[in-house]
Amino acid sequence: MVFSSVSFLVFFLPALLVSYYLVPRRFREARNAVLLAFSLAFYACGGVRYLALLILSIAINYLCGLLASDAHRAGVRRAAVVLACVLGLGLLGWFKYAGFFARIVNDLGVAIPIPHIALPIGISFFTFQGLSYVIDVARGDAACQRNPLRVALYVALFPQLVAGPIVRYTTVEREIGARDESLDEFTAGLVRFLFGLAKKMLLANAMGELTDSVYGMPQLSASTAWIGAIAYTFQIYFDFSAYSDMAIGLGRMFGFHFLENFNYPYVSASVTEFWRRWHISLSSWFRDYLYIPLGGSRCGRVRQLRNLAVVWLLTGLWHGASWNFIAWGAWFCVLLIGEKFLYGAALERSPAVLRHVYTMLAVVISWVFFRAPTMSAALAFLRAMCGGGAGWYSADSVYYLREYLPELLICPVACLPVRDALRGMLERRSGRAAEAVLILAPKLLALALLGLSYMKLVSGSFNPFIYFQF
Amino acid sequence: MKKLNRFAQLATVSAFALFLIAAMLLTYRARHKGYSFYENRNLAPRPAYSAGAVLDGTWFSALESYLIDRAAGHNTLARLNARLDIALRRPTVNNVVVEDDLLLAMLPYQAADAAALEARSERMAERLQEIDALVSSCGGQFCHVLVPSHYAYYADRYPAFLNNFAEDTALRRASFRAALERRGVDYVDLWDTFAALGFPSELGSAVDHHYSVYGAYEIYRAVLEHFNERGAGLTVYDAFDDAQIDKPYLGSRMRKLLGAWQSDERLHYFVPRDEIPFTRSDNGHESASTVFAFPAADDEWVTYSFFMGGDIPHTVIDTHRDELPSILIYGDSFTNALESIAYVSFDETHSLDFRYYTDQLTLGEYIEQYRPDYVICVRDYEVLLETGGNGVGVDG
């Protein structure tokens, strides 16, 4: 089930809201139970058979969390972390990578059967989330949770279950036990959710249609290829950040506060900055649980290079079991190494425009690896962007520009912190009118966007979520 | 300001709650709907429960399709969406090219494949040659009628950045005509007729991909004159009254836009001034003696199905004038408006649509059984070389 669906919006969400808020606030565990039951039902809509996997993952993390608590010796705690990693990553490895590695082995000339395994939705997210809990408990950063239902709720909480953000246990530890649901929080969450829904339905889907059309063309001119590449750059941002907005908003409607997952990544002036602003929950996960334990930047240059290579190989693989994602990770690895050791200082001294152009060029090219179905398709697409396809220009470019002109005009603006700027401007102005606008405008706009989003939802059929495949 | 904030929050949450309740109730109320008039399709059925489908999640995705088809305000919002897209001046809306005064088909950006067209032309001509031979052996005359598709008729109206298939059309016509000529199959290419008239816009339709009754009449006249050039002696009837339906015409393109485009086009039809009584049977059953299906009084629109009542697998119109010859017309829906005129020149007019006329007589058997004096196959350029549907051979 996706948030931008009739079944979620019109049936699941109202049923959950009614069931949840009918339980008096003092019965916290009953409210948690309602939320957990609905979260499991939400996940089961992707296939009941995968529910067992989710519950198994929860059980592993719960038991390993108990063993990782400070009630045990250091050796036991370390063993609990190793066990959680082996079992959690083992499940992830089997479901996500078994087929890929079997194909590599076959390509190397060793004939082994290639398993065809359907990827359970959200496995990469809930595996990483569960692992972070066990590691945090073992490190003493979080208290061990002895109530299995609370661990289950933490891992399975539906807003972030299938496409993130990867919520740390420490972020919601207190709120699982005692949170303040209020009209203030509910309204703020609702507005955030509706803005996210609009981003998805009005911008991401339109850019997705354009991207799919371009990537589906047998011959591409450079002009069309660039339009497709830029469209995908917008699509992936609005799609994924919209999901995060909706997750954060829904969380708030039930009293949870998840950390931000995006911070206007396309305003970045370097790739290093981009990765501080893009999918923050994943990059910080790799930083805290892999990069720093490996030695991070506080070691010799060779080890730093190794650490970066390991992190980016795994970041690429986390996104998908294919050479494209490995190439995508390697691309960023090379750029980050370049910025860190070679041209970072020169980049900082160069004009801001140049830095933005460099960053966006790097990002747009990276998304080609991300979007193309195969490595050869990605390379062909990049070749077409350089004029090596069907020439430099074709009439279809004009069509795509004209057909998606409204979205292509709105998308760049929506990538900028316009909302923050407007809010700041209004906050600086004293007076009742400015205050009234600050109070009313977001809510009115959110409701208007709900109308438009619902209109798009029921009248169109293009509605995929990119990050569901991870 | 605290009060305003509180009020704004309550109002926002209430509005959202109202939206959810209304959407839920209206969606639930629409659960029995099975057909979408505007989309001209059956709605997704309620998913049948099976343990396997629930386990692998396909039941839930089918449920979403079922719900989205019945979502509250589906048609109204889809029409609003189309209206918004038109207002935003998008060149295409719902796969329809929206010009100021004309709706056209959106065509894919694909280059014409001359070799493939030639091979397909040859294959189709071979089939038609067999049909031609059979009709001749039964004492009749066969003629293949090629009609320009809507996109070909209005090719010059496409914006330069859209594909109008002009190259494909030219290659298709040339290769198919050459193939027919090599095999001695008689044909009429309406391109020549329409070109001589300067492709007047009133022969087509701004909102539908079929010809108007005026275009259908030109096809009728061209075909009969063609037979007459070969000594047929058929009467080209021209004493028709021009009538119109005073309802908006929901043509196929307009239908894709859910009627959101502004048009005052009316559906015209021809009524013979002379009384020509006839009996009619559809699929072997006697039906009303009319070639028009008038919309009910409370219908908002009239559609192209007005002619002949739409695509019917098998129709026979008998004017009981034994002195006149008989004709078999087979083809896609382009034949419907044509048949509503052509029957006046014949004793019996047989109509077959092999897209739906299945599991009964083959074309060959039908010709042998009824031995019509004239057999025409009417196909537009788009499907001209398709071997499915009305591209059947004698055994099809």
Does residue B71 sit at the A interface (CB-CB below 8 Å)?
Answer: yes
Question: What's the pLDDT score for residue A265?
Answer: 97
Distance in angstroms (rounded) separating the CA atoms of residues B379 and B176: 12
Residue A163, beta-bridge partner list: none
Does residue A212 sit at the B interface (CB-CB below 8 Å)?
Answer: no
Please compute the mean of the pLDDT values over residues A108-115 and round it to a whole number. Answer: 89
Give the chain B residue nearest A41 (alpha carbons): B60
Write the pLDDT tens digit of every residue in B292-307: 999 998 888 999 999 9
- Residue B21 pLDDT > 60: yes
B111: region left, alpha or beta (phi > 0 left; psi from -120 to 50 alpha): beta
Distance in angstroms (rounded) separating the CA atoms of residues B226 and B15: 68
φ and ψ of B111, to 5 deg:
-75, 150
Does residue B92 sit at the A interface (CB-CB below 8 Å)?
Answer: yes
Distance in angstroms (rounded) separating the CA atoms of residues A326 and A330: 6
φ and ψ of B210, to 5 deg:
-90, 170
Least Cα distance to B250 among B216, B214, B217, B205 occurs for: B205
Of B8, B74, B109, which has the smallest distance from its Cβ to A217's Cβ? B109
Query: What distance in Å separates residue B162's CA from the closest CA in chain A?
Result: 7
Write the pLDDT tens digit of every residue in B188-246: 999 999 999 999 999 999 999 999 999 999 999 999 999 999 999 999 999 999 999 99
Cβ distance A396 to B109 less than 8 Å, yes or no, reads yes
Cβ distance A6 to B55 less than 8 Å, yes or no, reads no
Crossing angle for the helix pair A405-414 and A222-253, nearest 10 degrees? 60
Q: Provide the pairing of β-strand B141-147 with B374-380.
A: parallel
Distance in angstroms (rounded) separating the CA atoms of residues A172 and A71: 22
Q: Rounded to 10 degrees, what is the CA torsion of A153, A157, A162, A164?
A: -110
Q: Which two tokens stand for residue A364?
A: 């747009």
| Active-site residue set of A | 319
Prediction ipTM score: 0.90
Domain residue ranges in chain A: 6-179, 185-469
Residues of B in contact with A395 (CB under 8 A): 160-163
N residues, chain B:
396
Query: DSSP label at B344?
Result: G
- Residue B384 pLDDT > 90: yes
Confidence of residue A441 (pLDDT cuts 50, 70, 90): very high
Does residue A186 sit at the B interface (CB-CB below 8 Å)?
Answer: yes
Residue with tokens 């009417």: B378
* DSSP notation for A134-189: HHHHHHTSS-----HHHHHHHHH-HHHHTT-----HHHHHHHHHS----HHHHHHH
Q: Rounded to 10 degrees, what is the CA torsion of B355, B361, B364, B365?
A: -170
Write the pLDDT tens digit of every residue in A340-355: 999 999 999 999 999 9
Portion 95-124 of B in contact with A at CB < 8 A: 109-110
Are B244 and B268 contacting, i.e. CB atoms less than 8 angstroms apart? yes
Distance in angstroms (rounded) separating the CA atoms of residues A405 and A399: 10
Confidence of residue B39 (pLDDT cuts 50, 70, 90): confident
Cβ distance A399 to B161 less than 8 Å, yes or no, reads yes
Write the pLDDT tens digit of every residue in B339-379: 999 999 999 999 999 999 987 899 999 999 999 999 999 99
Start-to-end CA span in chain A (Å)? 15
Confidence of residue A123 (pLDDT cuts 50, 70, 90): very high
N residues, chain A:
470
Confidence of residue B287 (pLDDT cuts 50, 70, 90): very high
Residue with tokens 């002696």: B233
Distance in angstroms (rounded) separating the CA atoms of residues B169 and B112: 9
Distance in angstroms (rounded) separating the CA atoms of residues B337 and B305: 9
Question: What's the pLDDT score for residue A468?
Answer: 59
Residues of B in contact with A454 (CB under 8 A): 19, 23, 77
Does residue A116 sit at the B interface (CB-CB below 8 Å)?
Answer: no
φ and ψ of B113, to 5 deg:
-110, 95
Question: What's the pLDDT score for residue A467?
Answer: 61
Confidence of residue A432 (pLDDT cuts 50, 70, 90): confident
More confident residue, A71 or A8: A8
- Residue A462 pLDDT > 60: no
Distance in angstroms (rounded) separating the CA atoms of residues A242 and A125: 17
Does residue A184 sit at the B interface (CB-CB below 8 Å)?
Answer: yes
Least confident of A142-151, A159-168, B310-319: A159-168
Domain residue ranges in chain B: 1-72, 114-391
Cβ distance A10 to B4 less than 8 Å, yes or no, reads no
Cβ distance A443 to B12 less than 8 Å, yes or no, reads yes
Cβ distance A399 to B91 less than 8 Å, yes or no, reads yes
Cβ distance A45 to B24 less than 8 Å, yes or no, reads no
Confidence of residue A465 (pLDDT cuts 50, 70, 90): low
Interface test with B, best of A1, A6, A398, A445 (most B CBs within 10 A): A6
- Residue B40 pLDDT > 80: no
Write the pLDDT tens digit of every residue in B84-108: 999 999 999 999 999 999 999 999 9
